[in-house]
Amino acid sequence: MGKRDSINRDDFQKLYEAHADFAIRTAIAITRNNEMAKDAVQETFIRVYRNYSSYDPNLPFEPWLYRILVNECHRLLKREAKLSGYHHPYLENDPQVAEPSSENLAELIRTIQNLKDLYRIPLILKYIKGFSEQEIAEILDINQNTVKSRLFTGRNRLRKLLDPARKEA
């Protein structure tokens, strides 16, 4: 099976339905903004539809999709940074995350959101999305050893932020 010329609407609809929910959650984690995440996912799927002929079906689809999504999130964040001088709201303001029954989860998400993108995005892709280190390297277009290093550093920073006793030591 080689590269395809295009994708028909029914197949695209199935593809969208299979990946949209995960894509929106990932985009929210990256952008920290629900509306921007929706825009990023919409633009991602437009790009997938238009550029489907460049996808090699012999390779896994998800890393290709998430690479487009991460790039689109970064593009929107850069555009927003130029237009505004303030940081995006954290997920702690999202009622779905801030429910009392989800205190520990909400704290973890707030803490992850406080990490620099350099560490936050690989952690999200690895532990929330379940990508392998090799897939993360492909998605972010960086060396696999760099991914390992960022995951290691990100986990250590997350541990320190979650354990106040370690911060004082």
d(C-alpha 72, C-alpha 58), whole Å: 24
> Within this chain, do residues 56 and 16 fall inside the same structural domain, yes or no?
yes
pLDDT in tens, 49-75: 999 999 998 999 999 999 999 999 988
> Within this chain, do residues 157 and 112 fall inside the same structural domain, yes or no?
yes
Is pLDDT larger for residue 61 or for residue 84? 61
Identify the band that residue 104 occupies on the pLDDT scale cut at 50, 70 and 90.
low
Instruction: Answer whether 76's CB lies under 8 Å from 40's CB.
Output: yes
> Within this chain, do residues 70 and 103 fall inside the same structural domain, yes or no?
no
Identify the band that residue 5 occupies on the pLDDT scale cut at 50, 70 and 90.
low
In angstroms, the Cα distances linking 34 to 5, 44, 47, 95 are 33, 15, 20, 12
Identify the band that residue 17 occupies on the pLDDT scale cut at 50, 70 and 90.
very high
* Domain count of the fold of the chain: 2
* Domain boundary residue, one of 29, 62, 89: 89
pLDDT in tens, 113-145: 889 989 999 988 887 778 899 999 999 999 999
φ, ψ of residue 53 in degrees (nearest 5): -65, -20
- The domain in which residue 107 lies consists of 94-169
